[in-house]
Amino acid sequence: MTGDLMNSVPAHTLTDMGQPRRRQLLALAGATLLTSLTGTRALAQADWPNRPIRFIVPFSAGGAADTAARAMGAKVGDILGQSIIIENRTGGNAVVAANAVLGMPKDGYTFIWDAANQLTNPLLLKDLTFDYAKAFAPVTMGVRVAQALVVRNDFPARTVEEFIAYAKARPGTVSCGTPPAGAMGHLAMALLQQRAGIKLIHAPYRGGADAGRDLMGGQIDSALITTSTARGAVAAGKARILALTSAQRNPAYQDVPTLAERGFPRYDMDDWFALFAASGTPVSIINRMQQAVAQAARDPALTAILAPLGAVAVANTPQEFGVWLTQQREVLDKVIREANITLS
DSSP 311-339: EEE----HHHHHHHHHHHHHHHHHHHHHH
Q: How far is CA 268 from CA 104, 163, 271, 272, in A?
A: 34, 19, 10, 11
pLDDT the model gives residue 22: 57
Burial (CB count <10 Å: 0-12, 13-18, 19+), residue 316: buried
Tally of CB atoms within 10 A around 100: 16
pLDDT the model gives residue 21: 60
Tally of CB atoms within 10 A around 158: 11
Query: Each residue's pLDDT tens digit in the chain (344 positions)?
Result: 444 444 444 444 444 445 556 556 555 656 555 555 445 455 556 799 999 999 999 988 887 889 899 999 999 999 999 999 999 999 898 999 999 999 999 999 999 999 999 999 999 998 899 999 999 999 999 999 999 999 999 999 999 999 999 999 999 999 999 988 888 999 999 999 999 999 999 999 988 889 999 999 999 999 999 998 898 899 999 999 999 999 999 988 999 999 999 999 999 999 999 999 999 999 999 999 999 999 999 999 999 999 888 899 999 999 999 999 999 999 999 999 999 998 85
- Which secondary-structure segment (H or E) carries 21? helix 19-46
Inter-residue contact 318 to 140 (CB < 8 Å): yes
Lateral strand order in the sheet of 222-226? 201-204, 175-178, 222-226, 147-152, 239-244
pLDDT the model gives residue 308: 83
Contacts of 161 (CB under 8 A, 6+ apart): 262, 263
Between β-strands 175-178 and 222-226, what pairing exists: parallel, antiparallel or unpaired? parallel
Closest by CA to 204, choosing from 174, 230, 220, 180, is 180
- Separation CA 21–CA 25 (nearest Å): 6
- Separation CA 64–CA 272 (nearest Å): 10
